[in-house]
Amino acid sequence: MIYTKSPDEIIGMRNACRFAAEVRIAVGQSIRPGITTKELEDVAAKKIKSLGAKSAFLGYRGYPGILCVSVNEVVIHGIPSRQKLKEGDIVGIDVGVKYNGFFGDTAETFPVGKISQEAKKLLSVSEDALCNAIKSCIAGCRVGDISSAIQTTAEENGFSVVRDFVGHGIGRELHEDPQIPNYGSAGIGLRIPENSCLAIEVMLNQGDWHVKILEDDWTVETLDKKLSAHFEHTVLVKKDGCEILTK
Ligand code: MF3
Ligand code: CO
Ligand code: CO
């Protein structure tokens, strides 16, 4: 069941999502070689508190962190730790906040200092894939239109799409219907109604699409240990296109 949002709910979503974006930006500005992923979480915790919001992740299905911080071959759900970032790494920051009953969810993968040409290409293609997915999403389109935009952009550039995790509807819950895979065919799947909110998530791998979950039950890594990038925006779907709520 895809919940469409009332005008009041849209205002609630705009607020929660703006806060999520502010946290993502604050954490992004703190990234430098030598900082630990736990210290990045502390930046997020402080910012979330100052906004009067709550982490959407802490305690979600037992998740132990406020933030997901995913370095290099970690695709998503990296748990903040004493791991230090080093020059040349890429680091995915995924932020979820709850404010006044509504959720905002956004992710960006940042370079740490100077990174390789291949890593740069992975980041820019992943960002393009998210941009193309958002452009393909207008009221009345189908889930497959969004999925296909992501997959096509990735594969045309020699990258693969993660298949075991998906984007999702969002609103009064962090995860609502529909699921939005990173692969699929245009013209197929559920229709996206006007005034629905989606968290569109792009997860691209440099190598093969296969991933595994580590012993901690959360960390998702590429099986071949090659790099992976994650970009996510929460959007409001309208007649003439999407409003990006987590810009
Ligand atoms: N941030 C993920 C998403 O984009 C969900 C994280 S689940 C958590 O949907 F448990 F790690 F919080
Ligand atoms: Co997220
Ligand atoms: Co999400």
Residue 30: inside a domain: yes
Rounded to whole angstroms, how far apart are CA atoms 166 and 10? 23
With respect to residue 2, please indicate whether it lies within any of the assigned structural domains.
no
- pLDDT at residue number 204: 99
Pairing of strands 220-222, 68-71: unpaired
Residue whose token pair is 């969004």 = 146
Q: Is the distance from the beta carbon of residue 232 to the nearest atom of ligand 1 less than 6 Å?
A: yes
Enter the pTM of the model: 0.98
Q: Which helix (H) or strand (E) holds 55?
A: strand 54-55
Q: How many CB atoms lie within 10 A of CB 61?
A: 9
Please give the mean pLDDT across all residues of the chain: 98
Q: How confident is the model at residue 87 (pLDDT cuts 50, 70, 90)?
A: very high
What is d(CA 231, CA 209) in angstroms, rounded to the nearest whole number? 16
H/E stretch holding 211 reads: strand 211-213
DSSP state of 37: H
Q: Indicate the pLDDT class of residue 219, thresholds 50, 70 and 90.
A: very high
Indicate whether 91 belongs to any domain. Answer: yes
Confidence of residue 37 (pLDDT cuts 50, 70, 90): very high
Could you tell me the CATH number of the domain that includes residue 63?
3.90.230.10
State in Å: Cα 189 to ligand 2 middle.
Answer: 22
Which ligand 1 atom lies nearest to the CA of residue 60?
A: 10
Give how many domains the chain has, as a whole number: 1
For the stretch 53-83, pLDDT in tens is 999 999 999 999 999 999 999 999 999 999 9
Query: Within a domain: residue 188?
Result: yes
**Is residue 165 a part of any domain in this protein?**
yes
C-alpha dist (Å) from residue 65 to 110, 140, 210, 211: 19, 36, 25, 21
pLDDT tens profile 47-58: 999 999 999 999
**Pocket residue to mutate for ligand 1, from 54, 77, 103, 234, most atoms within 8 A of Cβ:** 77
Ligand found nearest the CA of 76: 1
User: Is residue 228 in a domain?
Assistant: yes
Domain containing residue 12: 7-241
Nearest CA to ligand 1 atom 4: 105
Which residue minimizes the CA distance to atom 6 of ligand 1?
A: 57
DSSP string, 220-240: EEETT---EEEEEEEEEEETT
Residue 24 lies in a domain: yes
Do the Cβ atoms of 20 and 246 come closer than 8 Å?
yes
Ligand 1 atom at minimum distance from 61 CA: 10
105 lines ligand 1 (CB under 6 A): yes
Ligand approaching nearest to the C-alpha of 198: 3
pLDDT computed for residue 42 by the predictor = 98
Distance 8 CA to ligand 2 centre (A): 23
Which residue has the CA at smallest separation from atom 8 of ligand 1? Answer: 57
Q: Which atom of ligand 1 is nearest to the CA of 107?
A: 4
How confident is the model over 24-46, as a mean pLDDT?
98
Tell me, using a 6 A CB cutoff, whether residue 201 lines ligand 1: yes
In a domain, 246, yes or no: no
Q: Using CA atoms, how far apart are residues 118 and 218, in angstroms rounded to an integer?
A: 27
